Structure 1
């Protein structure tokens, strides 16, 4: 059973959008997992074997959280009934209180499909009298992370301080050499540089070194205010 589950359209999306948070929550005693929906392949410099090795190496830098791949088709991900059932079964299996899902606005069709799939599977997971394996379960909340293919300024509901975890996040991202290192333009900032610029910006906004932003469709309730960063 997990406290939080990151659902990623492709291997590397979890590291890009929520890598620091995975490490931070694990340090705080949370049981965190990652579910990659697809292999992420084919890509110009990748292969199934290379991407699997990169994912394993990246996961080690995150502290080796529980991680699985649902094996859905890359580039053709759709929120079908069959895929919804498969994801709902995972939710029933690991029973996370919190789900991290891709932000609902993106240019990548796989990311949009993943968001819809998570929301639909969350609802199906609680249904009784169904043929979905496992006991009914309803994850309490979804937070949406930013790993988007649009040049937008995020509008988060909250940000989490990951200053102490930024080195682990960067190390994990660099493991995806086929996606984030070897294919980057020479002499210009690459994807990892951009991600770090954004975490530094959101850290500056709340007075820390680095922070990861998250959005919520629902109000975020707090039991106490003494942990607010001012």
Structure 2
């Protein structure tokens, strides 16, 4: 299955659903992370440091077995702190959706305090629709030579990377117990953001506690919460945790 995980800044995807990304890749799905911005400027780090960190994080989430497909990463390069919902931005994301032939879209929960997060989710929601349009020229994404045919991803799933002080009320929780080490390694790859020299140094432990809490809600060691606006269909009860 072709999975596209859209994030406002490098590290948002890892924080919100790093365990799920690692799990999907381990299961053989084709996972692409789309960074809408490079995450700079920030109090610590710049483009020259953050891009290698993002590459290292994707590697940390990738399967280690020989011949396994890695988690790939693509930068759309919109301006950090100034992301706006525009037709141009929508069509750029729609081009990625078509080039990847994404069947599932993950994006930030639509309730957030960060303007970039709010704008990215709205862009991604509309790009889902734009990607199915015919007779519209969508831009070819970086790293691709062409885009595929129109497509309308069947599922949109929201992950939590919110700046609001609220407890998520998820539609479902995914068991990510086996991928906690990879998630932590991926987040830790962002040394400029979570290293000991930053005010965020304690967040790695907090993220682990959050996952332990959501895991406890379904009787496992760790879990990540997800929310859906549309119904999620089941074909049976065999895979319920």
Band the TM-score falls in, shorter-chain normalisation: over 0.9
Which residue is equivalent to 2:44? Answer: 45
Q: CA deviation digits over 1:20-70, x for unaligned, max 9?
A: 001111111111110000010001111111101111111110114121100
Which residue is equivalent to 1:119? Answer: 125
User: Matched residues in 2 for 1:7 and 1:126: separation?
Assistant: 18
Q: CA deviation digits over 1:180-221, x for unaligned, max 9?
A: 2231267xxx22222111110010000100001100001111
> Which SS does the other structure have where 2:5 is aligned?
strand
Which residue is equivalent to 1:139? Answer: 153
**How big is the alpha-carbon RMSD for the aligned residues of Structure 1 and Structure 2?**
1.2
In the TM superposition, residue 124 of structure 1 has moved relative to its aligned partner by 0.5
Listed as ranges, the matches of 1:94-173 within 5 Å are 94-133=100-139, 134=147, 135-173=149-187
TM-score, with normalisation over the residues of structure 1?
0.95
Does residue 65 (structure 1) correspond to residue 71 (structure 2)? The answer is yes
Contact 2:55 2:73 in 1 (8 A): no
Does residue 35 (structure 1) correspond to residue 34 (structure 2)? The answer is yes
User: Matched residues in 2 for 1:96 and 1:142: separation?
Assistant: 10
User: Matched residues in 1 for 2:191 and 2:198: separation?
Assistant: 8
TM-score, with normalisation over the residues of structure 2?
0.90
5+ residue gaps in structure 2? 63-69, 140-146
Does residue 195 (structure 1) correspond to residue 207 (structure 2)? The answer is yes
User: Matched residues in 1 for 2:203 and 2:200: separation?
Assistant: 10
